Amino acid sequence: MKVRADIAELLYAGLSDSAIARQLGVDRAAAVAPARAALRLPKAKPGPKAYASAEDLFWRRVKPTDDGHMEWTGFHVGRTPAMRHGGRNLTACSIAYRIANGRPAKGQARPSCGRDHCVMPGHHADQADRAHARARSKVIQAWAGGLRRAGRALEREREKRVDALYAQIFGTPE
């Protein structure tokens, strides 16, 4: 029996006969079941299918909000958005960080956008990012302090010049 390539591809991907029939708009009994038999593939296991990656599972469990953030629709451990994949418990924030930065978070990944429990990729900082931001903040504060001191010094210089001009024009007060 000649098997359609699109049916064979979905069968090898592990989809059920009814899912393939729905997706391709074919008859399950007439097209998909004989193709499964011809390819000598076992029936698909019932129940929910495992996700290929934690990122796939993440995208199934988020919902965009109107203000540019995302909220978690999956389960929580305490108040932390979490999921289970590959036998491991993972936080949604760590997966969002990995999606945005292409690397796992060093330490905890926490929302840096100001909204509690936001899981939008790109809205998180790990321990190294937070340490870098603190150091950068200290540099900016030191620079701003230096500008204030320099501004006061310039103001004193200008006052001295104005006093000298006043003295030249009107003389020194006695």
**DSSP-based three-state secondary structure for 95:** helix
Calpha distance 118→126 (Å, rounded) = 14
Q: Cβ–Cβ contacts within 10 Å for residue 93, how many?
A: 25
In tens, the pLDDT along 100-121 reads 999 999 999 999 888 888 999 9
Q: What is the pTM for the complete model shown? A: 0.56
In tens, the pLDDT along 14-53 reads 888 988 999 899 998 999 999 999 999 998 877 776 777 8
The ranges assigned to domains in the chain are: 1-49, 54-125, 130-174
What share of the chain has pLDDT > 70, as a percent? 97
Q: Who contacts 108 (Cβ-Cβ below 8 Å, separation ≥6)?
A: 91, 93, 94, 126, 127
The rounded mean pLDDT for the chain is 87
Calpha distance 110→94 (Å, rounded) = 8
Residue 172 has pLDDT above 80, yes or no: no
